[in-house]
């Protein structure tokens, strides 16, 4: 049974629900992002029964894998222990769980930042396909559209080189394409209409399924594990969020990140609250106000203090905004990321941090 992909998906879905219920959200989140499969690693046959042994493979996107790598062995052990709750087949046994990074072709959208979007590239492919089909099925004469085709071909080819993808179309001019359809195996219009989409389909699939998340500014980890993990999760969720509740959830993560940042730097022994009210463990505004007032005293630093406070306000607003949009969530991520880097820089350069 465990060689059946549907059975593996059912087990992983049950594991996800189990860890969610146990409030082990790090493991539940890992499983939600994983591509599961099984590999047969052994077989034992005797007069009573036949037992097949499997590894449960959990492939993660490289970014996800890097984020959980420090906890890899622990996560594998915990998942394996839970697996046994859901595998009741006496003839199939999962003996180990292996979490590995996925190996696939990635597109470097960062290299097209400001030049073209995913949709721009897909639209350009559609225009080339339409022209190739048209000229080979009784449409315009090649000499009337070849110059435009060659220009579009060169443009797409440049995009693909920047993305790190192969161009599946070897026909740099429509005369080259004419030479191909005249070889004798594409004698009908219908065969030519099938040939062109088939030629481009693997590339279209690759582009369509790829993520433009890398077009966001690169994030430099602060070294505060919980802060870095949560900001990474915000980036992941922003990439897939489509409704108000999902955008609000990004704001929730942003607010929790700000609280964690404040907890990292606030020292009640030296950072006196500016309104004489001791902040609670989750009062990020008072903690950061006290931290910044001490570390950036003086009117010259007033803008920096206001910037950090506005980021906290933005995250809080998004969390309670029932009509939150992608732009709101993007702004929240940008502000929280900036504050994390800013506070880390201030903290590292402070005399107190140097003494520690």
Domain shared by 223 and 345, yes or no: yes
Q: Which two tokens stand for residue 205?
A: 């699939």
52 is in which domain, residue-wise?
Answer: 5-101
pLDDT of residue 46: 67
Domain shared by 97 and 113, yes or no: no
Mean pLDDT within 28-33? 91
How far apart are the C-alpha atoms of 76 and 74, rounded to whole Å?
Answer: 5
User: How confident is residue 58, by pLDDT bands cut at 50, 70 and 90?
Assistant: very high
For residue range 273-319, what is the model confidence (pLDDT) as tens digits?
888 888 999 888 889 888 888 887 777 677 777 776 777 777 667 66
The more confident residue out of 245 and 309 is 245
Boundary (domain end) residue, out of 46, 77, 101? 101
Domain shared by 144 and 190, yes or no: yes
For residue range 203-244, what is the model confidence (pLDDT) as tens digits?
998 888 777 654 455 667 888 988 988 988 888 787 667 778
Strands 35-45 and 50-60: antiparallel
pTM for the whole structure: 0.46
Residues making up the chain, counted from first to last: 356
How far apart are the C-alpha atoms of 307 and 336, rounded to whole Å?
Answer: 11
Domain shared by 73 and 175, yes or no: no
Q: Which strands make up the sheet holding 92-101, listed edge to edge?
A: 35-45, 50-60, 92-101
Domain shared by 351 and 222, yes or no: yes
DSSP 112-170: GTTT--HHHHHHHHHHHHHHHHHHTTT-S-HHHHHHHHHHHHHHHHHHHHHHT------
pLDDT of residue 212: 64
For residue range 86-115, what is the model confidence (pLDDT) as tens digits?
886 667 888 899 999 987 777 877 777 557
How far apart are the C-alpha atoms of 298 and 280, rounded to whole Å?
Answer: 26
Mean pLDDT within 19-31? 91
Domain shared by 203 and 227, yes or no: no
Exposure string (b/e) for 149-184, b if CB count within 10 Å is 16 or more?
beebbebbeebbebbebeeebebeebeebeebbeee
Q: Are 152 and 124 in contact (CB under 8 A)?
A: yes
Q: Which two tokens stand for residue 17?
A: 């629900």
Q: Is the pLDDT of residue 248 over 90?
A: no
The more confident residue out of 330 and 354 is 330
Number of domains in the chain: 3
The more confident residue out of 187 and 4 is 187
DSSP 307-332: HHHHHHHHHHHHHT-TT--HHHHHHH
Q: Which two tokens stand for residue 291?
A: 């931290």
pLDDT of residue 196: 97
Q: Is the pLDDT of residue 355 over 70?
A: no
Domain shared by 224 and 166, yes or no: no
Domain shared by 72 and 133, yes or no: no
Domain shared by 261 and 334, yes or no: yes
**If we measure between CA atoms, which residue out of 261, 277, 175 comes closest to residue 226?**
261
Tell me the C-alpha to C-alpha distance, in Å, between residue 248 and each of 34, 244, 322, 329: 24, 6, 7, 7
Domain shared by 145 and 204, yes or no: yes
Cβ-based burial of 47 (10 A; exposed 0-12, middle 13-18, buried ≥19): exposed
Side-chain-facing half-sphere of 163: CA atoms under 13 Å: 25
How far apart are the C-alpha atoms of 284 and 98, rounded to whole Å?
Answer: 39
CATH of the domain at 79: 3.30.300
How far apart are the C-alpha atoms of 131 and 117, rounded to whole Å?
Answer: 22
User: How confident is residue 132, by pLDDT bands cut at 50, 70 and 90?
Assistant: very high
How far apart are the C-alpha atoms of 30 and 341, rounded to whole Å?
Answer: 26
**Alpha-carbon 136 to chain mean position:** 41
Domain shared by 225 and 195, yes or no: no
pLDDT of residue 354: 42
User: How confident is residue 118, by pLDDT bands cut at 50, 70 and 90?
Assistant: confident
Boundary (domain end) residue, out of 101, 124, 150? 101
For residue range 142-195, what is the model confidence (pLDDT) as tens digits?
999 999 999 999 999 999 998 888 999 999 999 999 999 999 999 999 999 999
Domain shared by 231 and 177, yes or no: no
Boundary (domain end) residue, out of 168, 190, 209? 209
Q: What is the DSSP letter of 2?
A: T
Residue with tokens 């890398």: 214
Side-chain-facing half-sphere of 40: CA atoms under 13 Å: 12
When the pLDDT of each residue in the chain is averaged and rounded to a whole number, the result is 85
How far apart are the C-alpha atoms of 166 and 199, rounded to whole Å?
Answer: 12
H/E segment holding residue 89: none
């Amino acid at each position: 049974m465990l060689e059946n992909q549907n059975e593996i998906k059912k087990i992983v879905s049950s594991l996800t629900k189990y860890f969610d219920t146990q409030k082990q959200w790090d493991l539940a989140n890992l499983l939600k992002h994983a591509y599961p499969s099984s590999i047969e690693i052994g077989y034992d046959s005797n007069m009573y029964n036949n037992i097949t042994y499997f590894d449960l493979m959990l492939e993660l996107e490289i970014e996800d894998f890097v984020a959980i790598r420090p906890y890899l062995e622990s996560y594998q052990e915990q998942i394996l222990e839970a697996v046994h709750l859901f595998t009741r087949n006496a003839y199939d046994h999962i003996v180990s769980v292996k979490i590995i990074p996925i190996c696939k072709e990635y597109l470097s959208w960062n290299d097209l930042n400001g030049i073209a979007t995913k949709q721009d590239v897909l639209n350009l492919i559609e225009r080339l396909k339409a022209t190739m089909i048209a000229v080979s099925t009784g449409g315009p004469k090649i000499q009337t559209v070849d110059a435009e085709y060659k220009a579009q071909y060169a443009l797409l080819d440049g995009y693909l080189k920047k993305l790190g993808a192969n161009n599946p179309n070897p026909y740099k001019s429509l005369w080259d394409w004419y030479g191909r359809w005249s070889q004798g195996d594409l004698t009908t219009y219908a065969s030519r209409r099938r040939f062109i989409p088939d030629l481009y389909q693997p590339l279209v699939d690759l582009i369509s399924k790829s993520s433009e998340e890398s077009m966001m500014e690169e994030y430099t980890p602060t070294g505060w594990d919980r802060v870095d993990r949560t900001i990474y999760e915000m980036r992941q969720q922003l990439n897939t969020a489509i409704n108000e509740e999902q955008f609000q959830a990004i704001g929730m993560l942003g607010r929790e990140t700000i609280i964690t940042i404040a907890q990292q730097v606030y020292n009640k022994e030296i950072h006196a609250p500016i309104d004489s009210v001791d902040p609670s463990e989750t009062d990020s505004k008072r903690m950061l106000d006290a931290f910044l007032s001490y570390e950036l005293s003086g009117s010259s630093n007033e803008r920096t203090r206001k910037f950090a406070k506005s980021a906290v306000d933005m995250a809080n607003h998004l969390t309670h905004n029932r009509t939150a949009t992608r732009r709101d969530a993007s702004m929240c991520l940008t502000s929280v990321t900036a504050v994390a880097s800013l506070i880390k820089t201030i903290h590292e350069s402070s005399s107190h941090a140097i003494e520690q």
